[in-house]
Structure 1
Amino acid sequence: MTNLKLELKNMIIDTLELEDISADEIIDSEPLFVDGLGLDSIDALEIGLALQTKYGIRLKADSKETHGHFASINALAALVESYKETN
Structure 2
Amino acid sequence: MFEDLLEMQERGARDRALGRSLADNPMSKPDMLPITDLQEWFSMFEAWRFGWSIEDAMAGHIDMPREGHAVSGNGRALSGDSRGARRA
TM-score (structure 2 length as normaliser): 0.30
Greater strand proportion? 2
TM-score (structure 1 length as normaliser): 0.30
Larger radius of gyration: 2
